[in-house]
Homo-oligomer: A and B are copies of this chain.
Amino acid sequence: MAGTTWEQVAGVTPAALYRTVRLIRRFEERAIELVRSGDIVGGIHPYIGQEAIAAGVCAALRPDDLITSTHRGHGHVLAKGADPARMMAELTGRVTGLNRGRGGSMHAADLSLGVLGANGIVGAGGAIAAGAAWAASRLGPPRVAVSFFGDGAVNQGVLLEAFNLAALWRVPVVFVCENNGYATTLTVADAVAGGICDRAAAFGIPAVSVDGMDPQTVLEAAAPLVAAARAGCGPQFLECHTYRFDAHHTWEHKARPRYRSAEAVAAGRSRDPVDIQGARLDAADRLAVDNEIERVIAEAVAFALISAAPSPVDATEHLYATGLRPRPGAS
């Protein structure tokens, strides 16, 4: 297990981790611009500031491992290996999107990469991840599932029930709580009685809390938990302390609800995961990554915007896996 850990961590170069956080950051910045330009309808929940968690945790996973994501899911989906172009095409509602334009930001999924989907319902992913990991490991060699969720999700009954099921049945799932201090406008202090790790620990789940702003730290914390889950030690829990740099959702850019002072936001943004990891590369290498990412993002946006939107006549396609077509709403 220690071996696995070491190998897992060592297998990931600082440049690789940097590339991931930089990719997510630039993807989100461009996505916000596309929200402003109206190319992304409905807005997004930006992941900016929390990139270290997706990057660090997914670096500890194997290609066939599984994840469930959240409403703030772009980072997870990209870190698990999704094609940024098809991801951007999904956000802009194109047939070339990961979900053929049916899902959008809150449901982006790539089952071929073990990405079981972002989810619009807070806390919904935990039980799905547990069932998926259980099934995968029953049908073949153990595959670990990571369920990402926010601090708000630890107050959702179904997630707490999932902790119990996973612990009882020793399911290879790692629960990753991204504690960014807020559920929309509500602080953790006003929302969570007791400690977040204590909540997981009460179900007999080993729980650790780490600095979620440093990709390397997150990777080093995640790798042994993933290895332990894979080795049959049952579910593991990782709390990552982080900060949401931008809006809860892009509607905030217009509505501007007051719940975080300018000073608090400035303080929260003072430690930037992209810079923290970037500082570990020498200038030339960092620049090379940055340039490559600019290309990738530019190509992603171009691909998305030239792709076709799905045709209204196909609006009920995929409603049923069996191809059943529902009766129309008007004859």
Q: Which residues of A does B touch, CB under 8 Å?
A: 155-161, 163-164, 167-168, 190-195, 198-199, 201-205
Residue of B nearest to A159 (CB): B157
| B201 with A193: CB separation less than 8 A | no
Q: Can you name the residue of chain B whose Cβ is closest to the Cβ of A189?
A: B168
User: Are B194 and A167 neighbours in the complex by a CB distance under 8 Å?
Assistant: yes
- Give the dominant DSSP class at A's interface: helix
Contacts of A161 in B (CB 8 A): 155-157, 160
Q: Can you list 10 residue pairs at the A/B interface with Cβ under 8 Å?
A: A156-B157, A156-B161, A157-B158, A157-B159, A157-B161, A163-B193, A193-B203, A194-B202, A195-B202, A202-B202
B contact residues around A199 at 8 Å (CB):
202-203
Residues of B within 8 A of A201 (CB): 194, 202
Can you tell how many copies of this chain the complex includes? 2
Residues of B within 8 A of A202 (CB): 194-195, 198-199, 201-202
Known contacts A198-B202, A201-B202, A202-B202, A168 near B156 by CB under 8 Å: no
A124 to chain B, nearest CB (A): 12
Alpha-carbon separation in the docked complex, A164 to B159 (Å): 14
**Chain B residues with CB below 8 A from A190, complex form:** 168
C-alpha spacing A32/B232, complex, angstroms: 47
Residues of the B chain whose Cβ atoms lie less than 8 Å from the Cβ of A168: 190-193
Chain B residues lying within 8 Å of A193, measured Cβ to Cβ, are 163-164, 167-168, 203-205
Give the Cβ gap from A150 to chain B, nearest Cβ, in Å.
15
Q: Which residues of B contact A159 (CB under 8 A)?
A: 157
Q: Which 3 A-B pairs have the closest CB atoms?
A: A157-B157, A167-B193, A202-B202
Closest beta carbon of chain B to A157's beta carbon, Å: 2
Q: A160-B161, A164-B192, A193-B205 are in contact. List 10 more A-B contacts (CB 8 A).
A: A157-B158, A157-B159, A157-B160, A164-B193, A167-B193, A168-B193, A193-B203, A194-B202, A198-B202, A199-B202
**What's the nearest-Cβ distance from chain B to residue A82, in Å?**
31
